[in-house]
Structure 1
Amino acid sequence: MTNRNPAEQLGKIEAELRRLGLLVGPIQPAQVVRSAFGMGEMPFEDWLTKVFLPRAYEAADRNQWPQTSQVGTAAIRNLDGQADYAALITLLCEFDRIVEAL
C-alpha cells in the first residue's frame, strides 16, 4: 500500500539523505535560491538538503502542501545512473505522487 502522508515521506527522505552522507547535523533554515532546483547555484544534492528539505518541513508544519511537485523528476534528471542514489530517487518520486494526490 502506498504511503499517503507527505510528512512521513519527508522523514524517509531525510533518513536516506543522512545515510548517503549528504545531510549531517540539524536541518538549517532554507537557503534562498533564484532558480528552479538551484540550477546554476548549487549542486542538486545540496539543493535537496539546503532548500527542499527545510521548505518541505515548513509546509508540513503548516499542513500547506503545493498542488504539484516535481522533485522526483528533477532527481531523475540529476542523479540517474548513480546507483547509490536509486533509493533516494524512488523516495522523491513517491513524494511527488503523495503530494499530488492530496
Structure 2
Amino acid sequence: MTEFRFAAEIIHWRGPSPFFFAPLPPDHAEEIKRLSKLLTYGWGVIPVDATICGVSFYTSLFPKDDTYLLPLKDAVRKKTGITAGDMIFVEMALRPPRR
C-alpha cells in the first residue's frame, strides 16, 4: 500500500449533503491520480485507510478540481472534536477496493 502523511485545513461543503473534508496537498494528489486506474472502484473514488488524532477509519477519496478530498465521517469528527477551519495531521494509505 502507498502511504501518505500530510497536514490539512478542514473545509465544510454545504451542498445538498453537507460534509467535512480534508483536501490533499497537490503533490500527493498528483501521485494518487497516477495510481488511480489501479485503485478506483468507479467515479474516480479511491479507497483509503486513514488515521486522524489516533482515530482510524476506512473511507474513499473524492476527486475535486486538481486534488482529492478526504471525507471525515461524523463518528470520526465527534471522537476528535474536529470542525471546519481546524488544522489536522493525516496518515493515510491507499488500498485496493473491497469487492
Asked if TM exceeds 0.5, the reply is no
Q: Which structure has the highest strand share of the two?
A: 2
Give the TM-score category using the shorter length: under 0.3
- TM-score, normalised on structure 2? 0.27
- TM-score, normalised on structure 1? 0.26
Q: Which structure has the highest helix share of the two?
A: 1
